[in-house]
């Protein structure tokens, strides 16, 4: 599995902790930045992560900011992305199992390091359950295409 990860300045510290976890799990990843706590605009770092996942270059994405909310909004603007903002491991697991989520968002000012790590582990190991959820994902894709004018 390959993971794309990116954050703004407020998510920078938590991103570092999650990159350490990815290293420990021997999961290949690419850090799209930012690379410091200097104030930046989160769309500049989140959109490239989402686009790379949408293109299939990475199987999953991780986006971080102060709250995780704006980051989830940006990621979900990219066609083909289903991003969930997770604050506990059950939400992270169900997002994969029921929604086939491919990006997870965290708020560095909201969720603690250990909770974020537990969420990321669930997000990376849970599989899409298929079944009745396939039709729902197809409906989401149709809505997305209609909104894009396709």
Q: Which pLDDT score is estimated for 103?
A: 98
The Cα–Cα gap between 75 and 49 comes to: 8
Tokens describing residue 55: 């293109």
Give 9's DSSP letter.
G
The Cα–Cα gap between 150 and 143 comes to: 10
Per-residue pLDDT of the chain (150 residues; tens, 9 = 90+): 999 999 999 999 999 999 999 999 999 999 999 999 999 999 999 999 999 999 999 999 999 999 999 999 999 999 999 999 999 999 999 999 999 999 999 999 999 999 999 999 999 999 999 999 999 999 999 999 998 886
Q: Which pLDDT score is estimated for 150?
A: 61
0.75 surpassed by pTM: yes
State the catalytic residue, choosing from 17, 97, 98, 133.
Answer: 98
Our answer to whether residue 98 is catalytic in this structure is: yes
Is the distance from CB of 64 to CB of 108 less than 8 angstroms?
A: yes
Our answer to whether residue 150 is catalytic in this structure is: no
* CA neighbours closer than 13 Å in the CB half-sphere of residue 36: 3
- Whether the upstream peptide bond of residue 34 has omega within 30° of 0, thus cis, is yes
* CA neighbours closer than 13 Å in the CB half-sphere of residue 12: 13
Q: Which pLDDT score is estimated for 95?
A: 98
Domains of the chain with bracketed CATH: 2-147 (3.40.1400.10)
The Cα–Cα gap between 31 and 3 comes to: 9
State the catalytic residue, choosing from 71, 127, 144, 147.
Answer: 71
């Amino acid at each position: 599995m390959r993971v794309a990860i990116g954050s703004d300045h407020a998510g920078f510290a938590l991103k570092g902790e999650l990159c350490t976890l990815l290293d420990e799990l021997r999961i290949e990843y690419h850090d799209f930045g930012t690379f410091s706590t200097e104030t930046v605009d989160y769309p500049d770092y989140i959109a490239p992560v989402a686009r790379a996942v949408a293109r299939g270059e990475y199987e999953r994405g991780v986006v971080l900011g102060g709250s995780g909310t704006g980051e989830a909004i940006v990621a979900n603007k990219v066609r083909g992305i289903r991003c969930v903002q997770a604050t506990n491991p059950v939400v992270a697991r169900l997002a994969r199992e029921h929604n086939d989520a491919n990006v997870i968002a965290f708020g560095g000012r909201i969720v603690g390091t250990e909770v974020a790590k537990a969420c990321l582990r669930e997000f990376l190991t849970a599989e899409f359950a298929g079944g009745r959820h396939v039709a729902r994902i197809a409906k989401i894709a149709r809505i997305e295409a209609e909104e894009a004018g396709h």
